[in-house]
C-alpha cells in the first residue's frame, strides 16, 4: 500500500514540476547556498548515500519553506582512486608503472573519464525514489575545467587572506599507488589483509641496584623490551632510559 502511495506522489511531483515551481516561487528570496559533497558515479548507491541524502534534502526543504532560494545541483566526484582502480581492472594493469609504460597517462585519463558516469541512470532513479528534491539534469562534474578552476580560485583567495598554513599530518599511504589515502579509500574492499607480524622480546640485565618495596634488591634485575620490525636491532646489546618510566616487576614463581 505505502509503496504505491509513494509512487503516486512522486509521479505527481514529476508531472506538475513541483520542485521547479518551489524554486521559481522563491527566486527573489535571499540565497541559501547548500554545497553537496558529490558521490562517485562508478558505483551504485548504498545505505550511507541514502542516509546522507535524506539529511541533504531536509535542510534545503526547511530553508525553502522559510522563503530562501536554495539552488540544488547534484554533482559527481570524478577524481580519486575508485575511478582509477576500476579502470585498472578493466585494462588488466596494476600500478603507476603500468599506466606510464603500457597505456600512457593521457590515454589512461581519457579511459577514466569514459567510465565516471557509468551508473548515472541508476543514481537518478534511486535518488528520485527516495523523494529527494535535487536538480540532476544541470549537474556538475569535478573533472570539468570550470569546477577545477573555481577550487583553485578558492584556495588562492584563502592563501591571500593568510588562512592557509603548512603543517604535518599522519595519513594512510598506498605504496602501490604512490599516494596518500583518504579514510574512505583506506576502508575500500581489499584494502586490508591479515598478515603475520613478527616481534622479538629481548631480556637484558639492569646494571644498577633497583629499589623495591622492601628496600634495595641486590639480586640481578632484568628488563624486557619488545621490538617490532623494522625497528628491531640486529644484535640488541643495551637499552637506555631517561626520566620517569613506568614498568612492571615480575616474580618467577617456579
Model confidence pLDDT, tens digit, residues 92-144: 998 888 899 999 999 998 898 888 888 889 999 999 999 999 999 988 899 89
Burial of 249 (0-12, 13-18, 19+ CB in 10 A): exposed
Give the span between the Cα atoms of 83 and 46, in whole angstroms: 17
Please give the pLDDT value at position 215. 41
What are the helix (H) ranges across 164-252?
183-186
Q: Taking 90 as the threshold, does the pLDDT of residue 66 lie above it?
A: yes
Torsion of Cα atoms, 32 then 37 then 43 then 47, to 10°: -80
Burial class from Cβ neighbours inside 10 Å (0-12, 13-18, 19+) for residue 70 reads buried
Three cell numbers at 136? 540532476
Section 15-27 average pLDDT? 95
Residue where the block lists cell 559527481: 76
Amino acid at each position: 500500500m505505502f509503496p504505491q502511495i509513494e509512487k503516486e506522489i512522486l509521479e505527481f511531483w514529476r508531472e506538475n514540476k513541483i520542485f521547479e515551481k518551489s524554486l521559481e516561487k522563491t527566486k527573489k528570496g535571499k540565497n541559501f547556498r547548500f554545497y553537496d559533497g558529490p558521490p562517485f558515479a562508478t558505483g551504485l548507491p548504498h545505505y550511507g548515500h541514502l542516509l546522507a541524502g535524506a539529511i541533504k534534502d531536509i535542510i534545503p526543504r526547511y530553508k525553502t519553506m522559510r522563503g530562501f532560494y536554495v539552488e540544488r545541483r547534484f554533482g559527481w566526484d570524478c577524481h580519486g582512486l575508485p575511478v582509477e582502480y576500476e579502470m585498472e581492472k578493466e585494462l588488466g594493469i596494476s600500478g603507476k608503472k603500468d599506466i606510464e609504460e603500457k597505456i600512457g597517462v593521457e590515454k589512461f585519463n581519457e579511459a577514466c573519464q569514459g567510465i565516471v558516469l557509468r551508473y548515472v541512470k541508476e543514481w537518478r532513479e534511486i535518488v528520485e525514489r527516495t523523494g529527494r528534491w535535487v536538480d540532476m539534469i544541470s549537474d556538475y562534474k569535478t573533472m570539468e575545467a570550470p569546477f577545477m578552476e573555481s577550487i583553485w580560485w578558492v584556495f588562492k583567495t584563502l592563501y591571500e587572506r593568510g588562512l592557509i598554513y603548512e603543517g604535518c599530518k599522519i595519513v594512510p599511504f598506498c605504496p602501490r599507488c604512490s599516494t596518500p589515502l583518504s579514510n574512505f579509500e583506506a576502508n575500500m574492499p581489499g584494502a586490508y589483509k591479515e598478515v603475520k607480524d613478527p616481534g622479538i622480546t629481548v631480556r637484558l640485565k639492569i646494571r644498577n641496584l633497583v629499589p623495591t618495596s622492601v628496600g634495595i634488591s641486590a639480586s640481578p634485575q632484568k628488563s624486557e623490551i619488545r621490538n617490532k620490525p623494522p625497528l628491531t636491532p640486529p644484535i640488541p646489546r643495551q637499552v637506555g632510559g631517561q626520566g620517569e618510566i613506568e614498568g612492571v616487576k615480575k616474580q618467577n614463581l617456579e
